[in-house]
Chain A
């Protein structure tokens, strides 16, 4: 793949991202000068031990948090200095985010199909829930409420919900953390299918099964990227 092709496929890139937190008056460094890119149609895994800064980097890349230093570009737009309103607009248009706990991603008063409709409406588009759900193996669950689904099903619905409206970038924080192996396998399959549909998929994970399924891996240790 040429550099030009690679650049054209790049949805997200960050350079020199540095971030820290104040704890009891002291600054704890979470990230130090991290560079990374995420491409369209590719599943990228963000791996590293607990406390390595995976979630912080994920939030920064998903435009949920501003880094202290460094730049983050989504579809070529430098986001770190954008006003909050434009960052929200960018998130709405380009970013789908999946939280770690399946239940945290879903609304108890909406059915599976309604989630997809809502996801699309928030991006001012429409969706045919049946097709998407069938693609993710959830065709029979369209009329079900989240409490009627298993954890794995909930997480796949969360992925579908995040992907509704076709955001450019799909970000998932430990999507298999609370799932058994079988459910994890189905979530991984779902991630792959979403990447195949043209989404850039970025997944923070501890799970070797998930990272093994990724096309590309970014490894963090103590807030720094490890290059092998």
Chain B
């Protein structure tokens, strides 16, 4: 191999600027290429962990629940019962659980109802001595002991112990079956209801707190060792509930790691329900684990994201390839003399392309490796989760490798093309190619993408529910459209500059020299822009794309967020709704933004069941959510139609057509109403018509209704205010938690990635600008030396550069804004990812993003102009004036 090729791998390092440009190109292409798979894996793992964090650890792992009888049924006298049955179960489950990766040791619980009374002591009412008697492995380490704690016996919650005047060491009679057993009070602990819930107890939360909205009584939780419970229940016909629970070690758990655990859990379930286990589980056993569903849901989010993240990554990589092509041109320019010699001797473009690839290979590899590391770092630090899967890492490495090859191919192609055009180029060939309307390609592709790509906003998976996601067409089509519009703008800029240039030349020929020299900075900037219309057009178009995509992405994020929040507020009714167990007044801290309402869910209008909400017309409009974008009259006007007039009071109905027979039936009472039908009311969830009436009307109809407190504002302030006021809250509904179930996380992730790609595009523009400035630095140095001899000051020169660079960036910024406006105009109806729920898409302008972009453009202009001026000002006039090349 001749020396220019055999030594090529070592030649680039003699030109650090070119090596740096090529390495940066490698980084910019490898970064999105490597980031896509890492980001998808990170999103999947984040979704998995979001669900795990909100879930009870025992339900994630495995809960094997079954009845525990203490006497065998007459038809099966040989059936195991009590302690032996429990031993059999543990003997079955423990070895099976040990085979499951990441599964903890089983924790065995047995729960039954019982009575605890002091002995000696007076007879007590059964409802005063009733307890939930629980035996659970390791309970001693998970309660706050107030007294005692040593030795065997029963552990009582402080409230119960106080009510029964029991202290540590007292004797109590514990009755599970007909024969009570005597036990010592071993400890008094803080009632679990008085403390924040601990993960250890999450599987029993309903036992000690009661089920939400259930009316069943909640008994104090008395804790004993298994031996004591089994002894107390021995021979009785009581059937306790026995649960063997195992949790999953979620530390560092990825969707990939979850698969063997899920498979193991299935085998565990099969072992329990297997016929051979009939001895351990004579009755039907319930084996529950939600890990598989959560993993499937995480997979669903990844599936939903793939359609948008991959095209975005490809778009980012393609944008990076532009820099790779520019780096190829940069290389060819810096190697121009050598290429001229080689080409003059008959070396062809393919050989030059090979030389370029050999020279650039090292720098590209360094850049691609840096791109992969940057992608890994960004995903780990700013991604949805620092966890990625080994498969994703491998794919990302392959992506970075493919990016490196693509960069090399781009550099080689550009270098070869440049070499081919050095000599012997067919006349007019390049001009003809540039005249072709290339921008029609992305514009047509955008149109095709819009009509061909999926527009569903939800993705469903078997057993994993549904996740909302941004339909790919809302990403792919706008990206293509932005690229096409930017190219169109670039071409228009080129045409305009050529036309203006020709006009200026005509005018300058007809004017005496010197008339246009009064404002030298403007004169120089304009002449430079006019002299290089292609560069100006590319810079304007290239700046427009990231600005358009950033503004578009931010607008969609903000609009989707606002729309979802508005929908959540509308479903809940306002920011926070407290259901109270007893009527209460509005706390003083919430005055002016809260209202007490009364709810009945059993009203009837004709054959339809309606929720009847009694409101105070004075305070309700300020406490309830309403958006001017909602159809129909404003809430305040609607509420003004509610009147307590006994004969035929006014009412407002949403969720069904206002019936002709407007008579409300409620708990046997009837009331004729004058009903106004509207499409939407606050608090109207899908499927539940809501009838708004005056509070007095509801009070007249029924003596009891469910009191609620509606409050607007920040839930983080409202909830403590209500707790501080001591209101008897039974349930709390918060608008900010409606969408916290992972349904919409995919959307956030999509736009996080879009923002990252837009940022990357911005970096690409800056790198391109620097390359452009560097490529022209020689000419600028000479020009500055000559200008300084014509008394042009450094300040004027710097100003001229600022006008040149800043003017082009500003034009690109304005074009990008316009393009984003067009994109939003075309796509805004798609921002409602829950179209079945009002109020529909609410478009929000992302002012902070706009301000940030403008600042970045201004800063780039100032810094680039300063750097270019500094480079020019460092020129030594003697050298420049002698330089004839």
Contacts and interface: CB of A to CB of B under 8 A. Distances in A.
Interface of A: 24, 59, 62-66, 68, 84-85, 87-93, 95-97, 99, 101, 103-110, 114, 117-119, 121-123
A107 B338 contact: yes
Given A101-B885, A109-B7, A109-B11, A62 B2 contact: no
Nearest to B10: A109
Given A90-B346, A101-B885, A122-B345, A59 B337 contact: no
Interface of B is mostly: helix
Given A91-B344, A107-B341, A63 B424 contact: yes
B338 A88 contact: no
B509 interface: no
Given A59-B423, A87-B424, A109-B14, A64 B347 contact: no
Given A59-B423, A84-B420, A105 B346 contact: no
Nearest to B7: A109
Given A91-B344, A91-B346, A121 B424 contact: no
Contact of B341 (A68, A89, A93, A99): A99
B3 A110 contact: yes
Contacts of A121: 2
Contacts of B340: 99, 104
Interface residues on B, range: 20 to 34
Interface centre among B338, B345, B347, B426 (most CB of A within 10 A): B345
Given A88-B346, A91-B345, A118-B2, 18 more contacts: A24-B505, A59-B423, A64-B344, A68-B427, A85-B348, A88-B348, A89-B346, A95-B345, A97-B344, A99-B344, A101-B885, A105-B341, A106-B341, A107-B338, A109-B7, A109-B11, A122-B345, A122-B347
B4 interface: yes
A87 B347 CA distance: 11
10 closest A-B pairs (Cβ-Cβ)?
A92-B346, A91-B346, A64-B423, A97-B344, A88-B346, A104-B337, A121-B2, A122-B345, A88-B348, A84-B424
A122 B346 contact: yes
A95 B3 CA distance: 20
Nearest to A96: B345
25 contacts: A59-B423, A63-B424, A64-B344, A64-B423, A66-B427, A68-B427, A85-B348, A87-B424, A88-B348, A91-B345, A91-B346, A95-B344, A95-B345, A96-B345, A99-B337, A103-B337, A105-B341, A106-B341, A107-B338, A107-B341, A108-B14, A109-B14, A114-B3, A119-B345, A123-B345
A80 to B, nearest CB: 11
B10 to A, nearest CB: 8
Contacts of B341: 99, 104-107
Interface centre among B3, B342, B346 (most CB of A within 10 A): B346
B329 to A, nearest CB: 19
Contacts of B423: 59, 64-65
A97 B343 CA distance: 10
Contacts of A66: 424, 426-427
Interface centre among B14, B344, B348 (most CB of A within 10 A): B344
Nearest to A117: B3
Contacts of B337: 99, 103-104
B480 to A, nearest CB: 34
Contacts of A103: 337
Contacts of A64: 344, 423-424
Contact of B345 (A59, A85, A97, A106): A97
Contact of B4 (A63, A92, A99, A107): A107
Contacts of A101: 885
A123 B347 CA distance: 10
Interface in B313-352: 337-338, 340-348
B502 to A, nearest CB: 8
Contacts of A107: 3-4, 338, 341
Contacts of A104: 337, 340-341
A155 to B, nearest CB: 14
Contacts of B338: 107
A88 B2 contact: no
Contacts of A92: 345-347
Contacts of A105: 341
Contacts of B345: 91-92, 95-97, 119, 122-123
A62 B344 contact: yes
Interface in B1-58: 2-4, 7, 11, 14
A124 to B, nearest CB: 10
A191 B386 CA distance: 70
Nearest to A66: B424
A65 B11 contact: no
Contacts of B346: 88-93, 95, 122
Nearest to A121: B2
A88 B343 CA distance: 8
A50 B739 CA distance: 78
A104 B343 CA distance: 13
A133 B3 CA distance: 19
A24 B531 CA distance: 11
Interface centre among A59, A95, A103, A122 (most CB of B within 10 A): A122
Nearest to A158: B341
Contacts of A59: 423
Nearest to A178: B884
Contacts of B347: 88, 92, 122
B713 to A, nearest CB: 68
A114 B3 CA distance: 8
A121 B341 CA distance: 14
A65 B424 contact: yes
Contacts of A93: 346
B745 to A, nearest CB: 56
Contacts of B2: 118, 121-122
B619 to A, nearest CB: 77
Contacts of B7: 109
A96 B342 CA distance: 11
Contacts of B505: 24
A108 B7 CA distance: 12
Contacts of B344: 62, 64, 91, 95, 97, 99
Given A64-B344, A104-B341, A107-B341, A118 B4 contact: yes
Nearest to B338: A107
B388 to A, nearest CB: 43
B3 A118 contact: yes
Interface centre among B2, B7, B347 (most CB of A within 10 A): B2
